Structure 1
Amino acid sequence: MKTNFLLIVLVTALFSPKFSSAQDAECARTLSLFSQSAKIKDYKSAEPYYNELIEGCVDFRLATYQYGERMFKAFIKEAEKNKNTADQKKYAEALIENYKLRLANFPDKTAKGETYADIAQVKFDNNLGSKASQYDAFEKAWKMDKESFNSPKALYSYFNVLIDLQGKGEKDLQEVFSKYDELIKKVEQEEIHRAEEAEPLIKKQEAGEKLSSGEERTLKNSEIYLRNYSAIKSSINTLLGDLADCDNLIPLYSKDFEQNKENVTWLRNAAGRLSAKECTKDPLFFKLVEALHQKEPSAKSALYLGQLAEKDGKYSKALEYYNQSAELEENPIDKARVYNKIANNYKRKGSYSTARSFYKKALNQQPSLGSAYLQIADMYAKSANDCGNNIFYKRAVYWLAADYARRAGRVDPSIKSSADAAVSSYMGRAPQKPDIFQEPDIDEGSTINIGCWIGESLRVPSL
């Protein structure tokens, strides 16, 4: 009886407000000591405090796991530098445990897809477990919360492991293609998001307006992400390499055509892959498109019929199909591609105004489509002699062309070198500083109007 009474007293004391406050005070003291050392990167001194926190203050503050992440990453880097594989593995496993504890104790402040992708990345970077288990870790993150699975590095590593497994015969080629489509779609969606953030700020800069510190930070981060996503997309395409060339695709889909010719999903995916890789000259492509259009007339089947018509030199018929495709298409990226094809057709025919309207429609759907800006710039440059009342205004068109080319490189870093070369060329043909001084009523910073089909105004740059 006495023992039971003492137990009740002890439990009551442990859960009393006074005890809780004392415990919180001790947790706060330990966290303060941990964060002070972590802030100055004295992680050896910080580690014991971290261990205390995860023993007795596991759900006290999110900062425990934020600083813990930095600490273990520093330990891993040092161990790797010293080629100490035992320590590298130990700290990699500790970092994974740090992520798991954060997920368990602060679920509302932790993005699941992002964090599970971080765990998978740690396994991949530090060679923990088999390739199959690494792939399963990425797959878990992807299936659980692909919305927050945004790391360019993790997206690349995810596909890299899959390619390794396919090379060993543990994954089939169709699974590689399906995952490629998912990951490229994700990358392109993120590119659109970042380009949409950047576009109004770029225009504000071009108009000579000063950005706030917050806007400058947003623009800088957007452009960093755009560069990273561009690099990752290129790397993923390199990994896919020869696996997705026509020599592999055509036998693969030819072999399965008869058993899948009634399967709309299979037809759609096969035709899409052949279209994307320009395998449209093979008779198989026509068979796929014809079967698909009969089963499910859609934006995609209209697009493929347009490609076939264009291949046969039937450009008017191709435009008809492309317009049908654009009207039916709901996916912004795919709609942008169709608008871009239509614009290219009109540009080829010299219908620049109509071409520009379709390039701009494409950009409305996919603001990261830098090639559309480059095409508009090219049309402006080719129209310079027709769009001005005198030599100065004719040459001023090149400033406008340079603005569009410059914007192309900022929203799509994959074409930055081409865009920079175009900017340099256009600026070399545009009016120079002495030309501005000789023109009455025009100074650097003045706004001038460009006539003819272009119909835009521009700000005279400071040279």
Structure 2
Amino acid sequence: MKTKVILSAAAFGMVALSGYAQTGVQSGTKFGHGADSIACVQNLTLMQQAAKQGDFASAVEPWNKVYAECPASHVSLYQYGPKILGWQISQEKDAAKKSQIFNQLMSMYDSRAKYFGNMKKYGKHYILGRKALDYVTYVDPAKDPDKRQAYNWLAEAINVGGTSNEVFVFQQYFMLSDAMYAKDPKGFKQQYINDYLKVTPLLSERGASGDLKDTAYSKMKTIVDVMFAKSGAAKCSDLDGIYASQIDAKQADKAFLKTVLALYKIADCEESSVYFKAAAFMYKIEPSSDAARGLATQAIKNKDYGKAIEYFNNAISLETNNGDKSKLYMNIAKVYMVQGNYTKSRSAAQSALSMNGANADAYIHIAKLYAQYFSSISDDQVIQKTAFWAAVDKLERAKSVDPSRAAECNKLISQYKTYFPPSTELFMRGIKAGSSYTVPGWIGETTTVK
């Protein structure tokens, strides 16, 4: 009799547990209730263990069960999901089934946004970026040849996350934009320009964080700049056609003027009247480095060199990036060279090097100054030619900091060597080959007798 009571109680318990069992989806909880909650944890564990070992075949079944029954259980479901589903897509031969898995992959990202979209580092922008990357990787090209859907998701990710986005988000976004512009230059030009102006400030900001791993953003900024320059979208005449009619009406629009100045700068269109006008309007509203630079360029065009130097110095004081400061100092150096003031020209070039020791332009500029004004260092015509030793030293230094300038430097070196003083004349003056020598006069550089 006692045994029957125990068995009846056990049977009742099983029925009660079965009746209480609910999946996470049914109960609106992370794991569900009763037996279903236990199954969820078990399948989650099985999935994690298999996926960690790269055994995606064994991870498929428990992953599908967790995703179907308790999708809010743990973020690892979505961390391993792309790898598991990606593996399935790569293994599947049937086009219809492959498409079905792809659709599941895309909806998985929507579920992650629903259940885990509020995570600070891996929130909505992160999820959209990863979704777009997998879309580009796995979508059937025939269904979306331009990957426009991914482009839209990446745009949203950038709008939401800004500099917090992974570097590939900016890379993929601009690559897609570049491809669409190449396909339809006339129709997509304005959007392409907008996309460039959208990503570059963010890449610059993140790249200047001081964190070593963020140098990837600076490198990507350079890649994007090169792509944009090669695209041909930023021809001066085209930019004038877009912005000339808008300048007067938007002369008080600071954001618009900043955009125009930045675009004309990267496109090397700083001789345009549109650029000059934008710079003048911007300088009235808020003096900035770009605006001052524009006014300096206009002053050079008008041969008002004193005013040009004044504006370039203003630009330097307003600039925060040392690389850009270095370029501005070189602009001053070139103005002084036009004026024939070689000592101030060298001083400006040296200031450029203090901001950026890898500025090959500065070394080449100083070399050209030494070569052009060699006769000013001494009354002795033989000693005058020692200036070319110092000039060659600068060119060798330029090559070392920027190997891409080697051909240009080597050409000048070959030319300058023909002006080296004869060894017989040097011997008569007690100057021996290979010894240390200080070039006299304003140059004052210590070099090796060549």
TM range (shorter): 0.5 to 0.7
Alignment of 1:6-21 (within 5 A): 6=16, 10=20
Q: In structure 1, how many angstroms separate the alpha carbons of the residues matched to 2:111 and 2:324?
A: 44
Describe the shift of the 1:50–1:425 C-alpha distance in structure 2 as closer, same or farther (beyond 3 A): farther
Q: Which residue of 2 aligns with 1:214?
A: none
Distance 1:454 1:64 in 2: 69
Q: Is the 8 A contact 1:398 1:427 kept in 2?
A: yes
Q: Which residue of 2 aligns with 1:250?
A: 240
* C-alpha separation in 1, matches of 2:220 and 2:259: 28
> Which of 214, 226, 230 in structure 2 is aligned with 1:238?
230
> Which residue number in structure 1 is paired with residue 197 of structure 2?
181
Aligned equivalents of 1:293 and 1:229: distance in 2?
27
Match of 2:41 among 24, 41, 47: 24
Task: Return closer, same or farther for 1:426/1:295 CA change in 2, 3 Å cut-off.
Answer: closer
* 2:63 counterpart residue number: 50
Q: Which residue among 299, 305, 321 is the counterpart of 1:309?
A: 299
Deviation at residue 24 of structure 1 after TM alignment: 3.5
Q: Alpha-carbon deviation of 1:320? A: 0.8
- Over alpha carbons, which structure has the higher Rg? 2
User: Matched residues in 2 for 1:262 and 1:135: separation?
Assistant: 32
Match of 2:328 in 1: 341
Aligned counterparts, 1:81-160, within 5 A = 86=96, 89-103=99-113, 104-105=115-116, 107-108=119-120, 110-125=122-137, 126=139, 127=141, 133-149=149-165, 150-151=167-168, 152-160=170-178
> Could you list the per-position Cα deviations for residues 94-149 of structure 1 after superposition, in whole angstroms to 9, with x for gaps in the alignment?
33344444443473562542331222233345256686544431221111102222
Change (3 A) 1:382 1:255: closer
Give the distance between the partners of 1:18 and 1:178, measured in 2 at CA. 55
Retained in 1: the 8 A contact 2:203–2:220? Answer: no
- Give me the whole-angstrom Cα distance separating, in 1, the residues matched to 2:85 and 2:18: 41
C-alpha distance in structure 1 between counterparts of 2:278 and 2:121, whole Å: 47
In the TM superposition, what is the alpha-carbon distance from 1:305 to its structure 2 partner? 0.8
Check conservation: 1:346, 1:352, Cα contact below 8 A: yes
In the aligned structure 2, how far is the partner of 1:93 from the partner of 1:231? 33
Separation in 1, partners of 2:394, 2:351:
17
- Structure 1 residue 156, shift from structure 2 partner: 2.0
Give aligned-pair identity as a percent. Answer: 18
Letter in 2 for 1:300: D
Query: Offset at 1:307?
Result: 0.8
The question of 1:65 aligning with 2:83 is answered: no
Task: Give me the whole-angstrom Cα distance separating, in 2, the residues matched to 1:279 and 1:15.
Answer: 64
AA in 2 matched with 1:343: M
Task: Answer whether contact 1:187 1:233 (CA < 8 A) is retained.
Answer: no
Give yes or no for contact 1:134–1:161 (8 Å, CA) kept in 2: no
Matches within 5 A, 1:414-433: 418=404
Residues 1:374 and 2:386 aligned together: no
Alpha-carbon contact 2:399-2:409 (below 8 Å) kept = yes
Residue 64 (structure 1) shift: 4.1
**Which letter does structure 2 place at the counterpart of 1:342?**
Y
Partners of 2:174 and 2:195 within 8 A in 1: no
Report what 1:202 is aligned to.
none
CA separation of 1:356 and 1:292: change in aligned 2, threshold 3 A? same
Partner of 1:389: none
Instruction: Give the distance between the partners of 1:307 and 1:163, measured in 2 at CA.
Output: 31
How far the C-alpha of 1:274 sits from its partner, in A, is 3.4
**1:31 deviation in Å?**
2.2
Alignment-derived partner of residue 352 in structure 1: 346
Partner amino acid, structure 2, of 1:340:
K
How much is the aligned-residue C-alpha RMSD, in angstroms? 5.3
- Structure 1 residue runs of 5 or longer lacking an equivalent are 199-217, 364-369, 387-393, 409-416, 429-438, 441-451, 457-463
- Is the counterpart of residue 318 in structure 1 residue 311 in structure 2? no
C-alpha deviation, 1:323, in angstroms: 1.1
- The equivalent residue for 1:211 is none
Q: Aligned residue pairs: how many? A: 384
Which amino acid in 2 is paired with 1:48?
Answer: E
Q: Is the 8 A contact 2:326 2:351 kept in 1?
A: no
TM-score by length of 1: 0.62
CA distance in 2, matches of 1:73, 1:163: 30
Structure 2: distance between partners of 1:279 and 1:131: 32
| Contact 2:203–2:218, Cα closer than 8 Å, also in 1 | no
**Residues 72 and 95 of structure 1 are in contact (CA less than 8 Å); yes or no, is this contact kept in structure 2?**
yes
Which structure has the higher relative contact order (CA within 8 Å, separation 6+)? Answer: 1
**How far is 1:316 from its partner?**
3.2
User: Contact 2:330–2:349 (CA<8 Å) still a contact in 1?
Assistant: yes
Distance across 2 between alignment mates of 1:304 and 1:122: 43
Structure 2, gaps ≥5 residues long: 1-11, 23-30, 375-387, 415-433, 436-441
Q: Is the 2:109–2:127 Cα contact (8 Å) retained in structure 1? A: yes
What code does the residue aligned with 2:243 have?
Answer: Y
Q: Matches of residues 282-297 of structure 1 in structure 2 within 5 Å? A: 282-297=272-287
Q: Which 10-residue stretch deviates more, 248-257 or 350-359?
A: 350-359
Displacement, 1:406?
A: 5.2
Question: 2:364·2:394 contact (CA, 8 Å) conserved in 1?
Answer: no
After superposition, what is the alpha-carbon deviation per residue over 1:5-49, rounded to whole angstroms, capped at 9, x for unaligned?
A: 94898369x9889996785355323421343343xxxx4444224
Query: Cα gap change, 1:254/1:231 in structure 2, threshold over 3 Å: closer, same or farther?
Result: closer
**Equivalents in 2 of 1:9, 1:343: separation in Å?**
81
Relative distance call for 1:231 and 1:93 in structure 2 (3 A) is farther
Q: 2:89, 2:98 within 8 Å by CA — same for their partners in 1? A: yes
Correspondence for 2:430: none
SS in 2 for 1:260: coil
Alpha-carbon displacement from aligned partner over 1:188-226 (angstroms, at most 9, x marks no partner): 334445xx556xxxxxxxxxxxxxxxxxxx6xx95x766
